[in-house]
Amino acid sequence: MSGAGAGTSAEAEAEAGAGAAAGLAGARERWVRTGGIELCVAELGDPAQPTVLLVHGYPDSKEVWSEVARGLADRFHVVLYDVRGCGRSTAPQPLRGGFTLEKLTDDFLAVADAVSPDHPVHLVGHDWGSVQGWEFATVRRTEGRIATFTSMSGPSLDHFGHWIKKRTVRPTPRRAAQLLNQSAKSWYVYMLHTPVLPELAWKGPLGKRWPKILQRVEKVPGGDYPTASLPTDAAHGAWLYRDNVLPRLRRPRADAYAHCPVQLITPTGDAFLSPRLYDDLEQWAPHLVRRTLPAKHWVPRTRPDQLVSWIGEFITAKEEGDPARQVVANGAYADRFGGQLVLVTGAAGGIGRATAFAFAEAGARVIAVDRDAEGAARTAEMSRLIGAPQAWAEVVDVSDETAMEKLADKVHAEYGTVDVLVNNAGIGLSGSFLQTGTEDWKKVLDVNLWGVIHGCRIFGRRMADRGQGGHIVNTASAAAFQPSKLLPAYSTSKAAVLMLSECLRAELAGQGIGVSAICPGLVNTGITSTARFTGVSADEEKRRQARAARLYGLRNYPPEKVADAILRAVVRNQAVVPVTPEARGAHLLSRFAPRVLRALARFEPRL
């Protein structure tokens, strides 16, 4: 097929094409003729660079990729095309039987041969684009034409067929539940198999309301998408299901092994596909790279930056011949945080440093912020050694608003928008209320509360403005819900942080930004040896610091475990996370028996 169908009929009409291709400013457009169909192909970027071929899903047209294409265009030769029957491509006649995967493979080969005759292309597919992509990546006749395949939200119908078979033939309770869960999610597949009705719906009310539905349910930002051709695209696309789903699920191919490296991006909130579908994928695609994204189905619209970063990284690794990167991140949640930008304050030691290291092990890019320049530099340096592709140290006092603003500007300009912000910097202060002076109060509130406020306000705003989700972690303390006559100022500051986090969580929930408050409890860190003790002489203060450090040392709860809890909290989007057993106990008591805690508050341990 590759030779016959590759007759490119149209000239590259750069200007005309740019005008016509809505949402793809600057794209060069041309038509590729194949099997009696004309496919509308758009190109961006330098054709000398590696070619990335983006295939859209149902009921989209190539414009679904506009943000991602723009992001990739400065490094790659980006090619998009409207699948037959969609957008500005023509539809087969008759429709029935015109959308089989075999014919779609012909289309793909024709486009690939037209845009990149000499080199294999990097294939990226979303939804039905990915379903097709799996077909392309697993059939023999495309071997050598695909360099890599990035799949999102679209399983191979063959793999899906085997998946169902495995679960129906030997249904354990878990497998049965998985099957039921996916069957419920596939309601629209059954609907699309009814004759005529879907077409009527799409050309009637559904087509009109679809953009609003996407905005409301999927949080897809408006703009140039979906295009005006949506009703016809969707009506034609129904044949994708009718021509392929039943035959393939009934008789899945047994040899559907990928012949190129595959990267799988799984949105965890996908309403149509269960993440469990990909459980056995390694058997079909060896050396599979897994990524997970806390987002809904339409990730090319809602998370373009993250996709650009992952696709770019994957392609570059392949193009550069898989250079044995000295360090490969293999920590927990590497699929989730790989390549993300994480900023941690108070990163020169204790929980902050351990958190930076944990994110580094997960392959995140780390910005270690602290007042202590040497310590922050050390954290950044060690982060690079254990998996962070990049890490930087920044010296900032979190209580200084101007400095934080400056830092945010710098970070934004040089490294991008922060994906995960960990407001961890804090200082300790012990001493009764009447012995705590105004200065002490100011100092504690400045760092522990204002530091968090500045962080959330300055970085959180940028996160919200970008509109692509994110997460904020604030380190509060078990002292936030456990009163004590020893720590009035510290506890007050931390209680404020806890409440601030919970309010902010409510506010940012609608924008896909999670907020977690971490309440560690007694953790063996340096905070004890630098904590202020009010109302005592310098010598006595030193003695108490040493004593507190010793007590915390005896308890010996490592900051690494808190770091693990922080990563888990981000992945699960937990609201309040008490970490040590005593913190969990206190949290429980604060809800069910606050009087016990109040009684305990009067107790004064000998320091």
Partner 1 sequence: MASVTSATPPGAAGELTAGLRGFREVQRLAYACAEAVAAQLKPGVTERAAARMQREWLRERGVRDWFHLPFAWFGDRTAFVNFRVPLQFFPTHRELEPGMAFILDMAPIHNGYTADIGYSGCLGLNPVHDRLLADLEAHRELILREVRERRPLREIYADVDRLMVRQGYANRHRAYPFGVIAHKVDRVRQRRWSPTLFGFGTRSLRGLASDALHGHRDGWSPLWSPYRFSDHPPQPGLWAVEPHLGFRGTGAKFEEILVVTDSKDPQESAFWLDDDLPHVRRRQEEKAA
Residue 312, interface with partner 1 (CB under 8 A)? no
Residue with smaller CB distance to partner 1, 252 or 526 = 526
Residue 352, interface with partner 1 (CB under 8 A)? no
Residue 379, interface with partner 1 (CB under 8 A)? yes
Question: Minimal distance in Å, beta carbon 407 to partner 1?
Answer: 22
**How would DSSP label each residue in 336-363?**
HHTT-EEEEESTTSHHHHHHHHHHHHTT
Decide: 395 and 403 in contact? Cβ < 8 Å. Answer: no
Side by side, which strands form the sheet with 513-519? 391-395, 365-370, 341-345, 420-423, 470-475, 513-519, 576-578
Question: Minimal distance in Å, beta carbon 282 to partner 1?
Answer: 20
- Catalytic site includes residue 188: no
Q: Count CB neighbours of 129 within 10 A.
A: 28
Residue 558, interface with partner 1 (CB under 8 A)? yes
Task: Tell me how many degrees the CA angle 481-487-489 measures, rounded to the nearest 5.
Answer: 90
Decide: 146 and 136 in contact? Cβ < 8 Å. Answer: yes
Question: Minimal distance in Å, beta carbon 379 to partner 1?
Answer: 7
Residue 267, interface with partner 1 (CB under 8 A)? no
**Which alpha helices (H) appear in 204-275, and where do they start and end?**
205-217, 230-250
- Residue in 495, 494, 485 with CA at minimum distance from that of residue 599: 485
Residue 355, interface with partner 1 (CB under 8 A)? no
Q: Choosing from 81, 490, 552, 557, which is the catalytic residue?
A: 490
Residue 386, interface with partner 1 (CB under 8 A)? yes
Q: Which of 288, 327, 403, 575 binds partner 1 (CB under 8 A)?
A: 327
- Segment interacting with partner 1 (CB under 8 A) among 153-161, 377-385, 457-465, 578-586: 377-385
| Alpha-carbon 86 to chain mean position | 29
Q: Count CB neighbours of 105 within 10 A.
A: 17
Question: Minimal distance in Å, beta carbon 385 to partner 1?
Answer: 5
- Binding residues for partner 1, rule CB under 8 A, total 15
- Segment interacting with partner 1 (CB under 8 A) among 226-234, 375-383, 402-410, 448-456: 375-383
Please identify which residue in the block is written with the tokens 């997970």.
292
Residue 155, SS3 per DSSP:
coil
Decide: 322 and 552 in contact? Cβ < 8 Å. Answer: no
- Segment interacting with partner 1 (CB under 8 A) among 193-201, 218-226, 284-292, 373-381: 373-381
Q: Which of 332, 382, 536, 607 binds partner 1 (CB under 8 A)?
A: 382
Extended beta strands in 388-546, E state: 391-395, 420-423, 429-430, 470-475, 513-519, 532-533
Please identify which residue in the block is written with the tokens 């078979």.
165
Residue with smaller CB distance to partner 1, 46 or 322 = 322
Residue 385, interface with partner 1 (CB under 8 A)? yes
Q: Which of 154, 198, 207, 349 binds partner 1 (CB under 8 A)?
A: 349
Residues 484-543 that bind partner 1 (CB under 8 A): 526
- Segment interacting with partner 1 (CB under 8 A) among 153-161, 382-390, 430-438, 577-585: 382-390
Decide: 369 and 454 in contact? Cβ < 8 Å. Answer: no
- Segment interacting with partner 1 (CB under 8 A) among 150-158, 380-388, 398-406, 446-454: 380-388
Question: Minimal distance in Å, beta carbon 326 to partner 1?
Answer: 6
**CA–CA separation, 359 vs 370, rounded Å?**
17
Contacts with partner 1, residue ranges (CB under 8 A):
326-327, 349, 353, 357, 361, 375, 378-379, 382, 385-386, 526, 558, 560
Active site residues: 490
